[in-house]
């Protein structure tokens, strides 16, 4: 509770805080010999121009950053007996760091090195093509799904902690209030297994074909909880899904279309529960949803999401992370100045809108109750 009220970051095994604690426990001499702690994007910046700094959007995700004082949680680290001298100065997204080191500049020229929003979700959300400050939610949709809202300040309440929501730093002082949810990893894993293990699918089944088959399959044959731990890294995803169905007294699924439809419908129901939970915590209603990244191409799921939520879904940009990176480079170079400037340019990118079908909402609500009972 103390850590959350300071950092606002959900508790995940991958957090830098735990990596440091493990390093201190197992190899304290190695940690003591270190000069600076650089996250991977910061390391690349250092190799390019020599600057050892940490970019804000990524630094906040480490669980070492104090959201209440906007600085490293030095006293908390001292309590945990972790060294804070390793932590570098922090810069905002859109900061010019310098030019390429001489040995690189000789070949490439005096290229400017800029810190964008180095957290991939930070860059993706930077590119949300939105014109209003609130009332919208987003999904950064790919292998994983980052589901949430953009806030002007961190939400560090007991309810947010109990719901395991995270407060990640965004561009221009915004907060990405979100939850990590399973994404299209489930479909990707099943596709790989079909292609590798079943000869009849080796050359005939791809992602596009799977979505076609899912669209033709009967609706709501079965539902799963996509966030069940068994789906993180199973030896066989297809077996894991059917084992789950057996445990929850649902029919086994064997045809690719039926399995993928089950996955996509279950993801939509999970997204719906997270959005509704998010809106309760923030007291900000969601009147539209932006789907960013690879999932923006999934027209089937985006239409279902609009139907389930009863709000429009705007899909795109597909390459939101790359676009957000480029937009913050323009900020660093002085071509853009404000969050409004960034979003105005983002709105010029191609998107596709999906409108809710009123006659579908009741069916999704019926199966939401079934999903919540799992």
pTM of full prediction above 0.75: yes
Q: How many helices (H) and strands (E) does the chain have?
A: 17, 13
Q: How far is CA 310 from the centre of its chain?
A: 23
Is the pLDDT confidence value at 155 over 80? yes
State percent of the chain over pLDDT 90.
96
**What's the pLDDT score for residue 109?**
98
Cα distances from 80 to residues 3, 59, 64, 282, in angstroms, run 11, 18, 11, 31
Report pLDDT digits (tens) over 241-285. 999 999 999 999 999 999 999 999 999 999 999 999 999 999 999
Cα distances from 234 to residues 238, 240, 241, 243, in angstroms, run 9, 7, 10, 11
**Residue 167 per-residue DSSP state:** E
Is the pLDDT confidence value at 232 over 80? yes
Please give the full DSSP string across 212-228, using - where no structure is assigned. Answer: HHHHHSPTTS----TT-
Cα distances from 323 to residues 13, 79, 125, 175, 332, in angstroms, run 29, 40, 10, 19, 14
Q: How far is CA 158 from the centre of its chain?
A: 22
Judged by DSSP in three states, 317 sits in coil
DSSP H or E run through 90: strand 90-91
Give me the sign of the Cα torsion angle 265, 288, 168, 351.
Answer: positive
Is the pLDDT confidence value at 133 over 80? no
**What's the pLDDT score for residue 343?**
97
Annotated catalytic residues are: 120
Q: What angle do the packed helices 185-197 and 237-247 form, to 10 degrees?
A: 120
Give the chain's domains with CATH numbers.
2-115 (3.30.420.40), 119-374 (3.30.420.40)
């Amino acid at each position: 509770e103390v850590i959350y009220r300071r950092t606002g970051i959900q508790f995940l095994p991958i957090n830098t805080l735990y990596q440091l604690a493990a390093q201190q426990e197992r190899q304290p001499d190695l940690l003591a010999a270190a000069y600076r702690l650089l996250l991977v994007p910061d390391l690349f910046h250092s190799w390019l121009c020599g600057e050892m700094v940490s970019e804000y959007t990524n630094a906040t995700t480490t669980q070492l950053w104090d959201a209440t004082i906007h600085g490293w949680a030095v006293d908390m680290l001292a309590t945990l007996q972790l060294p804070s001298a390793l932590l570098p100065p922090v810069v905002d997204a859109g900061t010019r760091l310098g030019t390429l080191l001489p040995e690189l500049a000789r070949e490439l020229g005096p290229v400017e090195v800029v810190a964008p929003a180095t957290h991939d979700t930070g860059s993706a959300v930077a590119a949300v093509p939105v014109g209003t400050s609130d009332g919208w939610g987003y999904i950064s949709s790919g292998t994983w799904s980052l589901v949430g809202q953009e806030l002007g300040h961190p939400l560090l309440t007991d309810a947010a902690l109990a719901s395991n929501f995270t407060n990640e730093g965004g561009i221009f002082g915004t907060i990405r209030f979100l939850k990590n949810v399973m994404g299209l990893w489930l479909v990707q894993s099943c596709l790989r297994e079909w292609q590798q293990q079943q000869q009849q699918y080796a050359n005939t089944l791809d992602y596009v074909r799977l979505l076609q088959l899912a669209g033709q399959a009967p609706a709501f044959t079965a539902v799963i909880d996509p966030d069940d731990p068994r789906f993180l890294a199973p030896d066989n995803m297809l077996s894991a899904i059917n084992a789950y169905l057996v445990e929850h007294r649902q029919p086994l699924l064997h045809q690719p279309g039926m399995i993928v439809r089950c996955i996509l419908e279950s993801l939509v129901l999970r997204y719906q529960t997270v959005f509704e939970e998010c809106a309760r915590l923030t007291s900000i209603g969601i009147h539209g949803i932006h789907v960013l990244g690879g999932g923006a191409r999934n027209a089937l799921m985006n239409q279902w999401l609009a139907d389930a939520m009863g709000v429009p879904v705007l899909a795109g940009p597909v390459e939101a992370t790359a676009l957000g990176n480029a937009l913050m480079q323009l900020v660093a170079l002085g071509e853009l100045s404000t969050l409004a400037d960034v979003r105005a340019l983002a709105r010029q990118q191609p998107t596709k809108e999906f409108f809710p079908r009123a006659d579908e909402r009741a069916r999704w609500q019926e199966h939401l109750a079934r999903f919540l009972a799992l």
